[in-house]
Structure 1
Amino acid sequence: MAHKSYSGRTLDAAALKAFAHPLRLRMYDLLDEHGPSTATRLAGLLGQNTGATSYHLRELARHGMIEIVPGMGRGKEKYWRVTPGGFSYGEPPAGDPEAVSAMERLLDDLVSRRGAELARWRRAADQAPREWVEASVYGRRSLRLTVAETERMRDEVLAVLDRFRAVSDGREDAHGEGEDVAHVVVHFDVLPLGAAQEG
């Protein structure tokens, strides 16, 4: 059953293949977490040469993952940022094993990153301002639902997240200079345990 996409765009097979590259994933994460940056700064952070980071930034931009920040930089210097609106992974074409493999790498990276983010917050929470600790939550619910109820719940939660993404995307300075704004990550997974046949 098709459902509404709550992301700005869905990655096609070409974008999936382009994104499933370890250095591009890391560069995307750095831009997402720390805000606009140049190829030179990213090269320094990643221990790469500027030619490599410039190339990978252009590839990410070619597939709409990132964009040049208008009005930032001097001369030929370009600042790059994550394209507002988010994205979701589409279904790779069944007849395209390279796209299927790229999707598997992206999903493995997503699962790994979620675990790392949770562990990082778990270690850092006792050093964080009290109001941020109180605003955060670890959550897990175990429910008994039908497929239709699960789809309805998923869509309702994604609609709420989409409203707050619009608030975030509309912020003048997406990285919160002068405001009590933090980079907030929401993990949301719906997993029908036991639905698959396990051999």
Structure 2
Amino acid sequence: MANKSFSARTLDADALKAFAHPLRLRMYELLDEHGPSTATRLAGLLGQNTGATSYHLRELARHGMIEIVPGMGRGKEKYWHVTPGGFSYGEPPAGDPEAVSAMERLLDDLVRQRGAELARWRRAADQAPQEWLEASAYGRRSLRLTAEETELMRDEVFAVLERFRAVSDGRDDAAPGEDVAHVVVHFDVLPLGAVPEG
């Protein structure tokens, strides 16, 4: 059974292949974490030339991952941000080894990014304002559930996350004044007991 999508769209095989590029993944990560940016600023952050970052931004935009922010920038300067609504990886089509390989790279990068985010918060949490510290949480539960109960739990948690994603997507990237932070929520459902050990 294919994984259920909880996002506005599911990446097709071409988008999977385009996204599974180390520089594009890093650029997307920076846009997601820091908000709108230009090719020039990203080039400086990544030690790349502007031609390279411009090209990779256009490729991400071609597959709907990012878009130009209307009203930001002057002249030919373009600000890019992550396309609201999110996406899910879906399943790579059978018989397309390049898409399968791209999916494996994307999942490996997801694991790397989650580990890096957890480690970063662990190191920096004591510097956060008290209200953000109180709003944060580490969580892990080990449950004994059926496949049907697991699916129901997953769907209910994702429904809550989707409600708050809609709130987040409705915020203007450039709106000053609100005490808003980039909040990362990790949620995985891993039925490890359903696969043989070793």
Shared fold (TM-score, shorter chain, > 0.5): yes
Distance 2:78 2:151 in 1: 42
Write the mapping of 1:99-110 to structure 2, written as runs, cut at 5 A: 99-110=99-110
Q: Once the 2 structures are TM-superposed, how far is the Cα of residue 8 of structure 1 from its aligned partner?
A: 1.2
- DSSP-derived class of the 1:9 partner: coil
Distance 2:3 2:116 in 1: 30
The answer to whether the 8 A contact 2:36-2:173 is kept is no
Counterpart in the other structure of 1:4 = 4
Q: Once the 2 structures are TM-superposed, how far is the Cα of residue 3 of structure 1 from its aligned partner?
A: 6.5
| 1:2-38: CA deviation from partner (whole Å, max 9, x where unpaired) | 6752211110100000000000000000101111111
Distance 1:26 1:37 in 2: 13
What number of residue pairs does the alignment pair up?
196
- DSSP-derived class of the 1:194 partner: helix
RMSD of Structure 2 on Structure 1 (CA): 1.2
Distance 2:179 2:45 in 1: 26
The answer to whether the 8 A contact 2:5-2:90 is kept is no
- DSSP-derived class of the 1:3 partner: coil
The answer to whether the 8 A contact 2:8-2:87 is kept is yes
Counterpart in the other structure of 2:126 = 126
Distance 1:125 1:72 in 2: 32
Distance 1:38 1:75 in 2: 13
- DSSP-derived class of the 1:115 partner: helix
Distance 1:194 1:5 in 2: 23
Q: Which runs of 5+ in 1 are unaligned?
A: none
User: Taking structure 1 as reference, are residues 91 and 82 closer, same or farther at Cα in structure 2, changes over 3 Å only?
Assistant: same
Counterpart in the other structure of 2:75 = 75
Q: Once the 2 structures are TM-superposed, how far is the Cα of residue 171 of structure 1 from its aligned partner?
A: 1.3
User: Taking structure 1 as reference, are residues 111 and 36 closer, same or farther at Cα in structure 2, changes over 3 Å only?
Assistant: same
Q: TM-score, normalised by structure 1?
A: 0.95
Deviates more, 1:165-174 or 1:127-136: 165-174
Q: Once the 2 structures are TM-superposed, how far is the Cα of residue 162 of structure 1 from its aligned partner?
A: 0.1
Q: Once the 2 structures are TM-superposed, how far is the Cα of residue 172 of structure 1 from its aligned partner?
A: 2.5
User: Taking structure 1 as reference, are residues 2 and 194 closer, same or farther at Cα in structure 2, changes over 3 Å only?
Assistant: closer
Counterpart in the other structure of 2:152 = 152
Distance 1:14 1:3 in 2: 19
The answer to whether the 8 A contact 2:37-2:79 is kept is yes
Distance 1:107 1:4 in 2: 16
User: Taking structure 1 as reference, are residues 95 and 2 closer, same or farther at Cα in structure 2, changes over 3 Å only?
Assistant: closer
The answer to whether the 8 A contact 2:2-2:91 is kept is no
Q: Once the 2 structures are TM-superposed, how far is the Cα of residue 195 of structure 1 from its aligned partner?
A: 1.2
Distance 2:40 2:113 in 1: 25
User: Taking structure 1 as reference, are residues 188 and 126 closer, same or farther at Cα in structure 2, changes over 3 Å only?
Assistant: same
- DSSP-derived class of the 1:15 partner: helix
Q: Once the 2 structures are TM-superposed, how far is the Cα of residue 69 of structure 1 from its aligned partner?
A: 0.6
- DSSP-derived class of the 2:67 partner: strand
| 1:49-78: CA deviation from partner (whole Å, max 9, x where unpaired) | 000000000000000000011111111111
Q: Which runs of 5+ in 2 are unaligned?
A: none
- DSSP-derived class of the 2:24 partner: helix
Q: Once the 2 structures are TM-superposed, how far is the Cα of residue 197 of structure 1 from its aligned partner?
A: 2.5
Q: Once the 2 structures are TM-superposed, how far is the Cα of residue 179 of structure 1 from its aligned partner?
A: 0.9
Q: TM-score, normalised by structure 2?
A: 0.96
- DSSP-derived class of the 2:93 partner: coil
